[in-house]
Amino acid sequence: MADYYGTVAGADAYHLARGNAAWAAATEADKEAALARASAYIDGLGTQLPTTGCVLSFPGRKVGGRDQALQWPRSGATDRNGDPIDSGSVPREVEQAAYEGALRELVKPGSLNPDYVASKAVKRAKVGPLETEFFGPEDGDGQPNKPVVGIINDILAPIMVLRCPLPAVVVV
């Protein structure tokens, strides 16, 4: 089983239809590597756990359990309309999201999952009379290095479910 969603041929057709010339110019090996990195990003989006707030996640469970490398195919999954998602296949939304992510990874490898070193983050910068303050991890979702790619989120939205942390009472 491939370690990425979709196929190179599928990605070729997807990007050709959208006029993405950068994809067409790449080698087969570079396309496969980009698809693998994008698929890891997609899986990371779909497996977030709620901590302080609600998150969007993939529904259901991996068909092959822990031995299954990727998050799809999944059993017991339904889309936002309640329609079942075939447990024997990967939804087209996941494949298309991987194709979108792969293009970004092809153009700038590592851009979907950049490293973040908190000690090197700049909170405030001042040049002459101008001063700018930046958002830090405490100001957002705690994942300052995870880019938000609108088109990927939009493609995946119909198959994601909202998961919220359960209220808990701690007895000591």
Q: Identify the three-state secondary structure at position 81.
A: coil
pTM, full prediction: 0.81
Q: What is the DSSP code string of 125-136?
A: EEETTEEEE---
Rounded CA-CA distance 55/133 in Å is: 27
Q: pLDDT, tens digit, for every residue of 60-109?
A: 999 999 999 999 999 999 999 999 999 999 999 999 999 999 999 999 99
Task: Calculate ∠ Cα 90-59-145, nearest 5°.
Answer: 85
pLDDT above 80 (res 144)? no
Question: Which has the minimum average pLDDT: 4-8, 129-133, 147-151, 163-167?
Answer: 129-133
Contact 89, 73 (CB under 8 A): yes
24-72: per-residue pLDDT in tens? 999 999 999 999 999 999 999 998 887 778 889 999 999 999 999 999 9
| pLDDT for residue 131 is more than 80 | no
- Report the C-alpha gap between 27 and 49 in whole angstroms: 36
As a whole number of angstroms, the distance between CA 128 and CA 110 comes to 34
Phi/psi for 124 (5° steps) reads: -145, 140
Task: Give me the residue spans of the domains in the chain.
Answer: 8-112+147-163
Is residue 35 within 8 A of residue 4, CB to CB? The reply is: yes
- The whole-number pLDDT of residue 148 equals 85
For 57, list phi and psi in degrees, rounded to 5: -140, 165
Answer with the residue of higher pLDDT: 158 or 55: 158
pLDDT higher than threshold 80 for residue 120 = no
The distance from CA 80 to its chain's CA centroid, rounded to whole angstroms, is 18
Q: Which token pair is 55?
A: 């998150």
Nearest in space to 77 (alpha carbons), one of 159, 169, 168, 164: 159
Mean pLDDT, the chain, whole residue set: 87
**In percent, how much of the chain has pLDDT > 70?**
84
Q: Please enumerate in sequence order all residues whose Cβ is within 8 A of that of 55, keeping only pairs 6 or more positions apart, or say none.
A: 48, 49, 162, 163
From residue 95, how far is each of 8, 36, 113 by CA, in Å?
11, 12, 18
